[in-house]
Structure 1
Amino acid sequence: MNMKHTAQLVVGGLLAAVACANSWAQKFDGLASTPQMGWNSWNKFACDIDERLIRETADAMVRQGLKDAGYQYVNIDDCWQGQRDADGTIQPDPKRFPSGMKALADYVHGKGLKLGIYSDAGATTCGGRPGSRGHEYQDARTYASWGIDYVKYDWCDTPGLNAEAAYTTMRDAIAKAGRPMLFSICEWGMSKPWEWAGKVGHSWRTTPDIYNCFDCQFSPGFSTGLGVLRILDKHADAGLRKFAGPGHWNDMDMLEVGNGMSDDEDRAHLSIWAMMASPLILGNDLRSMSEATRRILTNPGVIAVSQDKLGVQALRVLADGPLELYAKPLDGGEWALMFLNRSNQPADVDHDWKKQVLIDDLSKRSVDFKQSVYRWSDLWSKKTGDTSTKLKARLAPHSVLMLRLTGPAKP
């Protein structure tokens, strides 16, 4: 056999190996066709978690009507981990999760819900527990054996790592494990994941962590926490909407609804996340939330905007001082509009529809209200009207007016 022929065989073998690997080296399709909805333990409980909390949260998700509203994932964040055994297999903390993760997954599945788990691309997690670096395939197999449905993958303790490569490795590990698991990338937008993560994960964080305030920035130690408006601005100003769509979403971080902001701010918070097609991952204590919070989180009209199958992220079409207007094309020729009052003072909406032409180059959708009259319904107050007359309203500080437009109707 001559050297040329040998080289051809070697190259051919490598290409065959690559082709074989690529046959499974992809994220699971069919997950997150609309932005995922669920709950995560971190915002409210941080490391103070155990299996009782997770079971009670699953119970509450069903009892409080959240499951019926569309929320389905119960996600355990950092600090569930114990140590690795002699074979390197990760074990849950035996004091916090004495029954094991398989039993917990079975319980959650028995409620008609899905269980999520957390790990990190580094050697240790943000909470100092064992990360997945060097154990990606082993961990993915372990999660699959437990019946895990969702993997949130963080970015602490990663000096020298390339984010795209590290997340691709875990994507491939999940695919090789063979169980469909939604893959949530959490590297805080540091490497512009929207440019590469569409083929790697089902969603990717775009900013530092959210902080429980409407308009502020908080910097404890090495991390930065951003309020609701600060996160919104990073999405509205950075041209990220073209990267979002079914199966691949810009993740604005978990919700802080029910964690201490006013009801107006909570309604605005949920509305913004729905308009921007961000995952809706609750971060409050579902077991003891108020009835007002429950009604906010289960608003069917707002959730329908979030879960619209067209999957287009809203665009900011008007900014008039503290008052802004966002538009989101919906399936079936409909639109969602949101007037946002960013101010600490009340703001008046005096909107002449006939002076407004909505144009969205991304979805190739437009509407001229001089030519067409649309009916509208207010998704929070339930008021109705149409675009043949001016829209007048007074918005409280840090509140929204959110409308769904259907039509066109007869003038």
Structure 2
Amino acid sequence: MKRSLTLLVLAAGISTGAHAQKFDGLAATPQMGWNSWNTFACNINEQLIRDTADAMVKLGLKDAGYQYVNIDDCWHGKRDERGVIQPDAERFPSGMKALADYVHSKGLKLGIYSDAGATTCGGRPGSRGHEYQDAITYAAWGVDYVKYDWCDSKGLNSVGAYTTMRDAIRSAGRPMLFSMCEWGDSKPWEWAAGVGHSWRTTGDIYPCWDCEFSHGSWSSLGVLRILDKQAGLRKYAGPGHWNDMDMLEVGMGMTEDEDRAHFAIWAMMASPLILGNDLRSMPEPTRRILSNKDVIAVSQDKLGVQAWRFMASGSLEYWAKPMADGEWALMVLNRGEHAVALNYDWKAHQISDDLSKREADFKKTTFNWIDVWSGKLGDTSKKLDAKIAPHSVLLLRLKARG
């Protein structure tokens, strides 16, 4: 019987794989949500997920645009006699279907985690050889998002492995956002636009400004290290297919200035905004950062163009992002250790983007701007005077005068 089921699953893959596509209409803007890994790693259970969904609603994060509640590694129990994956019965005694129903009742969506290898990074059962079976199981549970990792992947071809899981998700019939976590090893930006809705461009993030934290055989990277690895990748991103700079570390031990800069950078770069902190005990300053409507508007702009650095001077970098309806976002990033006074002459710096074919000529057009953090208003007819703290950003939204 088990052999017959396996053959049926394989046959389904062969018959649909050649024509399968990822689900369209998902991740038209970079996905927003929460993931359990950064704070809790393997210490997870169903009550944590329920409480997090409750907090997402109560704290206004759902209204701000966050919608996915994602369970990362270590939810797995064993496979049954038919090979069907089961949740850990002690940690998830009600089962995943009941948990998905609860999350859905809050107007949110549930995400789950697996791995292309035989085992996950946490040593639980991976999906290798069970891709179609797992996708059918997730669909039956009501899962909306699949994060797919790359541990225990020796001997696997990343294009083939991720395409197989994409086809499996499609064949299961339930639209599930497919988040590829391959760490950028095989340059997925060059081949994955038709496979996943987002793909990791680097290894894991670490909650620091500019560091590399060694784990022995691999390293985690700080905010600036990850930003620097995005050079040349913006042309591959767009609606439905995003460069993923990993989950957010806002509220995880950096300074408030660093948290604001981190959040602004991810928004400018059109990276998914996946929270990693404990929402149940989040302090108010962190909540204000993560629910800032103007920063989120930059992230969720429907034009879907990733920012680029158009100028650098000393410790300051100038980044621009064209937005829909003729708007722009301008970020000035202070990478350095000291505050820097800014006296920026708008008319001396026309901004032109070869990718989007958009330009802003401040000699011809005056733009009104708002500082998204302070709420200060101004326009480009006058020089921009500001003082930017170390490890911080100035982020402005610009709109041409009518």
- Check whether TM > 0.5: yes
> Aligned to 1:300, which of 272, 290, 293?
293
What value does the CA root-mean-square deviation take over the aligned residues?
Answer: 1.3
1:265 counterpart SS class? helix
CA distance in 1, matches of 2:362, 2:87: 58
CA distance in 2, matches of 1:86, 1:199: 34
Partner of 1:209: 204
2:314 equivalent to 1:321: yes
> Any conservation in 1 of the 2:13–2:167 contact (CA below 8 Å)?
no
> Aligned to 2:237, which of 237, 244, 258?
244
> Cα deviations across residues 8-64 of structure 1 (Å, max 9, x unaligned)?
xxxxxxxxx999636751100000000000000000000000001000000000000
- What amino acid maps onto 2:382 in structure 1? T
> Aligned to 1:311, which of 304, 307, 315?
304
2:120 equivalent to 1:144: no
> Aligned to 1:283, which of 276, 285, 288?
276
2:279 counterpart SS class? coil
Gaps of 5+ in 2: 1-11
Partner of 1:196: 191
Using the TM superposition, give the Cα deviation of residue 347 of structure 1 relative to its aligned residue in structure 2, in angstroms.
Answer: 1.2
> Aligned to 2:178, which of 146, 170, 183?
183
Using the TM superposition, give the Cα deviation of residue 371 of structure 1 relative to its aligned residue in structure 2, in angstroms.
Answer: 1.4
> Any conservation in 2 of the 1:24–1:175 contact (CA below 8 Å)?
no
> Cα deviations across residues 144-197 of structure 1 (Å, max 9, x unaligned)?
000000000000001111101100000000000000000000010000000001
TM-score, structure 1 length as denominator?
0.94
Report matched runs for 1:311-350 at 5 Å. Answer: 311-350=304-343
1:197 counterpart SS class? coil
Could you tell me the percent identity over the aligned residues?
74
> Cα deviations across residues 274-323 of structure 1 (Å, max 9, x unaligned)?
00000000000000000000010000000000000000000100111110
- What amino acid maps onto 1:284 in structure 2? N
Using the TM superposition, give the Cα deviation of residue 223 of structure 1 relative to its aligned residue in structure 2, in angstroms.
Answer: 2.2
Aligned residues: 391
1:138 counterpart SS class? helix
> Aligned to 1:52, which of 42, 47, 51?
47
2:143 counterpart SS class? coil
Using the TM superposition, give the Cα deviation of residue 408 of structure 1 relative to its aligned residue in structure 2, in angstroms.
Answer: 3.7
Using the TM superposition, give the Cα deviation of residue 224 of structure 1 relative to its aligned residue in structure 2, in angstroms.
Answer: 1.1
Partner of 1:397: 390
> Any conservation in 2 of the 1:24–1:176 contact (CA below 8 Å)?
no
> Cα deviations across residues 72-126 of structure 1 (Å, max 9, x unaligned)?
0000000000100000000000111111000000000000000000000000000
Gaps of 5+ in 1: 1-16
> Aligned to 1:112, which of 107, 112, 125?
107
1:116 counterpart SS class? strand
TM-score, structure 2 length as denominator?
0.96
1:281 counterpart SS class? strand
CA distance in 2, matches of 1:362, 1:279: 20
2:165 counterpart SS class? helix
> Any conservation in 1 of the 2:16–2:171 contact (CA below 8 Å)?
no
Partner of 1:6: none
Larger Rg: 1
Runs of 4+ in 1 over 4 A off after TM superposition: 17-20
CA distance in 1, matches of 2:224, 2:151: 25
